[in-house]
Amino acid sequence: MTLTAEPAPPRTEPATGAPGKVRLREQLTGWLFVAPFGLVFLALLVAPLVYALYLSLFRKALIGGTSFVFLDNYTKVFTDPSFLGGAWFVIRFSLVLIPLQMLISLAIALILDSVTSRFARFSRLMIFLPYAIPVVIGALMWGFLYSKNFGPLHDVFGAAAPDLLSSNMIFYGLLNIVVWQWAGYYMIIIYAALQGIDPTLYEAARIDGAGGWQIALRIKIPLITPALLLILVFALIGTLQFFNEPQILRDLAAGSIGPDFTPNMYAYQQAFGLANFNYGSAISFALGGVVFVCVYIFLFATRKRGSFLS
């Protein structure tokens, strides 16, 4: 019996330019999916920023009307005692808040990482819960707790209750609120990074005689350095833009929080309290420049510490 090979089917060459048309069609389809977000992004973020930048280059006066002053508003911002005082406050606040937040978040994450039980899961949820509470509600709640007249401090200490909304204590009162609000969020980031570490490293360390403290200090913390740097950047940006909590507590703090308490509050007061939109825009962009420079310097100084910085 003789086997004969069947003839191969004829090859059909694709039409010239067909791959290019398919690629173009795929690109157009992708842009169509992105277009709704792009339009909203341009309309609600880019366009207002461009308009605010335009306003910051002008000055409006009762006599003479609106005039183009170029960078004079920015020169005024960086010599304005109110802006400089608010900036100095948020810098001092950052130097205390950020290390405290990171230490608390790291400690909680390390404890929960070493405990495998239903209680640990419940604890993670409860610690993260303050982040899910809106800032307005959280600040009002703490304002009630801090009150000397009708809060729980008054019920416990009476007339000797500490006034955490006074000018001498407002720094620590706000510090407590922000730590309570954000420590759980940072804890989740650190905990997720800890879950990504290979458990065999811990087993090898225990075989070599390492204890819990040595494993935490010499294995866990060095391996989650990128996550620590990430939350440090988040905390730095958020603190320099400090606004919500002091603005909400301003009416409850009996004069301890002024309109220029932070740079963001000062910009808000200039723009919406005094209708000085030109100078308010300049303050906002000046603060944005300060935040950008600070974050860039930090990223440059730590570029070799984490892969996400490279």
Q: Sorting pLDDT into bands at 50, 70 and 90, what band is 176?
A: very high
Q: Rounded to an integer, what distance in angstroms lies between the CA atom of residue 155 and that of residue 123?
A: 29
Selected from 1.10.1060.10, 3.30.70.580, 3.40.50.720, 1.10.3720.10, the CATH number assigned to the domain covering 77-262 reads: 1.10.3720.10
Q: Sorting pLDDT into bands at 50, 70 and 90, what band is 60?
A: confident
Q: Sorting pLDDT into bands at 50, 70 and 90, what band is 4?
A: low
Q: Is the pLDDT of residue 1 over 70?
A: no
Give pLDDT, residue 107.
93
147 phi, psi to nearest 5 deg? -60, 135
7: DSSP letter:
P
66 phi, psi to nearest 5 deg? -90, 130
Token couple for 72: 């004079």
What is the tens place of the pLDDT at every residue in 210-240?
A: 888 888 888 899 999 989 998 998 898 888 8
The rounded Cα 292 to chain-centroid distance in angstroms is 13
What is the tens place of the pLDDT at every residue in 125-140?
A: 889 999 999 989 999 9
Q: Is the pLDDT of residue 310 over 50?
A: no
- How far the first Cα of the chain sits from its last, in Å, is 69
Instruction: Tell me which amino acid residue 150 is.
Output: F
Q: Rounded to an integer, what distance in angstroms lies between the CA atom of residue 199 and that of residue 146?
A: 44
Task: Give the residue, 282 or 309, on which the prediction is more confident.
Answer: 282
SS3 2: coil
Q: What value does the mean pLDDT of the chain take? A: 85
What is the tens place of the pLDDT at every residue in 14-55?
A: 555 567 777 888 888 888 998 999 999 999 999 999 999 999
How is the chain split into domains, by residue range?
77-262
What is the tens place of the pLDDT at every residue in 187-212?
A: 999 999 999 888 888 888 888 888 88
- Mean pLDDT on 89-108: 93
Give pLDDT, residue 78.
92
3-state secondary structure 46-90: HHHHHHHHHHCCEEEECCCEEEECCCHHHHHHCCCHHHHHHHHHH
Q: State the helix-helix crossing angle for 170-195 and 225-240, rounded to 10 degrees.
A: 150
